[in-house]
Amino acid sequence: GLGDPASFYVAVIFLLNGLMMSLFFIYGTYLSGSRLGGLVTVMCFFFNHGECTRVMWTPPLRESFSYPFLVLQMLLLTYILRIPNINTGSLIALCVSNIFFMLPWQFAQFVLLTQIASLFAVCIMGYIDSCKLQKILSAHMVSLVVCFILMFGNSMLLTSYYAASLVVIWGILELTPKVLKNSRREVCLWVVEGCAWLFGTVTLKYMTSLAFGIADDAHIGNILKSKFIGYKDFDTLMYTCAAEFDFMEKETPLRYTKTLLLPVVLVVFGVIIKRVIVCLRHKLEVCKYCATVCLVLQLVYHALQLVAYGVLAILIMRLKLFLTPHLCVMASLVCSKQLFGWLFCKIQPKTLVFAILALMAIEGSANLQTQWNIMGEFSNLPQEELLEWIKVNTRQDAVFAGAMPTMASVKLSTLRPIVNHPHYEDAGLRARTKIVYSMYSRKPAKEVKRELIKLGVNYYILEESLCVSRKKPGCSMPEIWDVEDPANSGKIPLCTLMSKDSRPYFITVFENSNYRVLKIPKE
């Protein structure tokens, strides 16, 4: 039952993601002002299910726990942006949803960074007053501090771009009225405030990181550098060589187009831009009236958030998780009377919506059938043999090292101590993982053994597939090590030597088709 960790993970995740579909219906209904909008959102999600989530393949991911709470958080934020006066209950609900979103997933802070950046852009354009934005920022700040405490003082949160951005935006909101007395929102002022936010956030982040000596998220900056200037190091290649961290596939926009999701959203986006341009032609007072009556405020926010998610998804394919569902939410606006009232005077909204859904269903139903036709179950007999051997033939305090995914299985299934696991947002753990993966480098066996003994490792689990597999050029483990350790480039990889004969530095105590367990004798 739920007392078993694996059953608990899967059951809770499927429950959360089932409830999330109800949230999407409510979200689409509330944003568009029509239940038809909720229907469009849900149908678009299912028609593009393979692009929206990975929960059906790998349920116990951290993002699977977190993402449903982001949907709730954005729904609450939409409500807060729409009401004229924020009540305390709404801010508390926003804060709680923030906490549940951030706690399970280390990447959540970067998503929330794009959110507050979008809100700040809406503010400097004059669509939201600074007082309301400061109340929203206060909820974010409280949730950040609570997460810091609940995560046992995770200093990476306090030195993140997200935390720095919260402080900088607050400072800009406080100082702008005092420094610039003129209340008119000219384009030059927007540029000044935008540059102040960008420069201030980057500067404050690096100052706090230096002050506290924190480098836990340094690899994130390196990943971004690798996307733009081709930067390479061991940690960066460990990410970018994985398909999910590569650029978005060229086929993805085509798949969006076939289900008509992208064309519908582009029409909605164009109408929002047109509405914003009309508002910006008027003076600030008229613009505020326009934002209140026509609900442009939350539409501008959602449009900017869509752009931010689009950039993230293009840079890192895995982050389609945010883009595709948000496209589905934006598609609900095709039912909005505020945007398409002029069209609904000529054609019934139901007729239009069901015509669009019928066209979407041509490709969408085929996508659904493809999903339903995939049947199977997870099976990894070699790993089961390995885990059973460990439980029977090693002591309870025997320390293991190896590839990160395998170490997670060893820890969960055998309860043996491990020296590394799949959590890369810690500088010390990254350094340990690098030492462990030196088995796949071209370094001398004696040097690798000495470093493993310093970590207290008793057994090393060698996977021959990691030694020879090559997802793309330059991405086999020995090739990754050639970037980090050019001095030994050209030598035979140590993992290849260990596969043939592990003596004299290691002793092979178990071997099957995928795994080889090397015992590390004390010197």
For range 387-400, the mean pLDDT: 94
Same domain, 364 and 473: no
Same domain, 152 and 233: yes
Higher pLDDT: 305 or 125? It is 305
Same domain, 280 and 412: no
Give residues with Cβ within 8 angstroms of 251, minimum separation 6: none
Same domain, 264 and 339: yes
Instruction: Quote the mean pLDDT of the chain.
Output: 87
Same domain, 353 and 395: no
Give residues with Cβ within 8 angstroms of 225, minimum separation 6: 231, 236
Model confidence band, residue 294 (pLDDT cutoffs 50, 70, 90): very low
User: How many domains does the structure of the chain reveal?
Assistant: 2
Same domain, 357 and 385: no
For range 275-294, the mean pLDDT: 57
Same domain, 411 and 347: no
Write the pLDDT tens digit of every residue in 95-122. Answer: 999 999 999 887 898 899 999 999 999 8
Same domain, 412 and 369: no
Query: Cα(337)–Cα(54) distance, rounded to whole angstroms?
Result: 34
- pLDDT given at position 135: 94
Query: Cα(173)–Cα(299) distance, rounded to whole angstroms?
Result: 22
Write the pLDDT tens digit of every residue in 121-143. Answer: 988 887 888 899 999 999 999 99
Question: pTM for the whole thing?
Answer: 0.88
Same domain, 311 and 351: yes
Write the pLDDT tens digit of every residue in 16-54. Answer: 999 999 999 999 999 999 999 999 999 999 999 989 988
Same domain, 431 and 330: no
For range 177-188, the mean pLDDT: 63
% of the chain surpassing 70 pLDDT:
95
End position of a domain, from candidates 345, 373, 401: 373
| SS3 (DSSP) at 462 | strand
End position of a domain, from candidates 312, 345, 373: 373
Chain Cα centroid distance, residue 153: 22
For range 394-398, the mean pLDDT: 93
pLDDT over 70 (residue 343): yes
Query: Cα(48)–Cα(297) distance, rounded to whole angstroms?
Result: 28
Residue 156 burial (CB count, 10 A): 21
Query: Cα(506)–Cα(264) distance, rounded to whole angstroms?
Result: 61
Ramachandran area for residue 375 (φ above 0: left; ψ -120 to 50: alpha; else beta): beta
List the CATH number of the domain containing 487.
Answer: 3.40.50
Among the listed residues 478, 472, 520, the one whose alpha carbon sits nearest the alpha carbon of residue 497? 478
End position of a domain, from candidates 347, 373, 399: 373
% of the chain surpassing 90 pLDDT:
49
Domain residue limits at 101: 5-373
Both tokens of residue 283?
Answer: 């003076």
Judge residue 454's burial from the number of C-beta atoms within 10 Å of its C-beta, 0-12 exposed, 13-18 middle, 19 or more buried.
Answer: exposed
Higher pLDDT: 424 or 486? It is 486
Same domain, 50 and 168: yes
Are 47 and 361 within 8 A, CB to CB?
Answer: yes
Model confidence band, residue 181 (pLDDT cutoffs 50, 70, 90): low
For range 456-469, the mean pLDDT: 89
Same domain, 496 and 354: no
Q: How many residues make up the chain in this entry?
A: 523
